[in-house]
Amino acid sequence: MPSNDAYSASIIVDGNALEEYEVEGKDAVLSCWIASEAGKNFSVRLTGAMSDVSLAWHIYIDGKWMKGCVYHASSGPLNQTSRGYPSDENTFQMFTFSQVSLTDDDSIASPDLDLSNLGTIEIRISRAEFTKDPNQSPLIPSTSNITTIHERSKKLAMHRVSLTETKQKRTGIIYKTRLLESNPHACFVFKYRPKDFLISQGIAPGLEDETESQEKTPSKSNSPGPKTKKRKRSEKADKENEEIEDARRRDALIKKEKQLQELQAEIELLKNGDGRVKQEIKTEPLATFIVDDNGVIDLTD
């Protein structure tokens, strides 16, 4: 999972953290790719050591604010998970990966959508102070459900996050939050795409690459014999090299045959030139042509 000196974040599906690819860090931001599967519910988890300052961490999905969570100073190690978006004071809706619906009909496509952050799950962490407010109502974010987008947006290989089944939630305490810093001091960005897309872009390994990785792993068996099989990729590369070498040999053979034909034509011309060879032409012994097993002609004397 992506982690800095203080926090680790992960996207959980079926109780397991999704594998991250190409984790990169710049300033306070850590980003990575994850493989999304349409129809799967997911949750967002943040962990870290105990902090002596209170923290607010906010979840943004597809560029929209979804939820805010609080951590109280010195309350133990940070280990919090958010499974969905609050629909009211007593229920929430699950985060779910879904297909993007496309259309070429301008009248159907949702207008004025900002799609620049489509396919992202972001966690922003800030130092904060909290005040209990029994009269405060929970902030209900605007829905992240994007109905239909236009094909010209070029989001053909995208998923989105929708809000699905509604579940009961425990009654919580509502806090007023005051952030103590103008910008988050830590941020995690998960860029989610279908697995096939990540493989096609070389971001995630394909089945062949995974087979290679497994073959590289030493066998636990003590039985004699080779530890690994010849890799499929190596076999393919060897075949390509053989084809290239065969082509080179064919080119060399054609070139030598052409030289041979030219020499033979010159010999015939000399022989048929009134049956005489001019004295000023210096005669040289003819070259010896040896064709090896690979079809290459040797022109050495």
Evaluate if residue 11 carries a pLDDT over 80.
Answer: yes
61, β-bridge pairs: 64, 121
For residues 231 and 237, what is the distance between their CA atoms, to the nearest angstrom?
10
Note whether 16 and 30 are within 8 A (CB): no
Tokens of residue 199, six digits: 């493989």
> Given this model, what pLDDT does residue 97 score?
92
For the chain, which residues make up each domain, given as ranges? Answer: 7-103+110-207, 232-298
The whole-model pTM stands at 0.64
pLDDT digits (tens, 9 = 90+) for 236-264: 445 555 655 666 676 677 778 888 888 88
CA-closest candidate to residue 185, choices 275, 125, 120:
125
Note whether 50 and 57 are within 8 A (CB): no
pLDDT digits (tens, 9 = 90+) for 190-233: 999 999 989 998 999 876 655 555 555 555 444 444 444 334 44
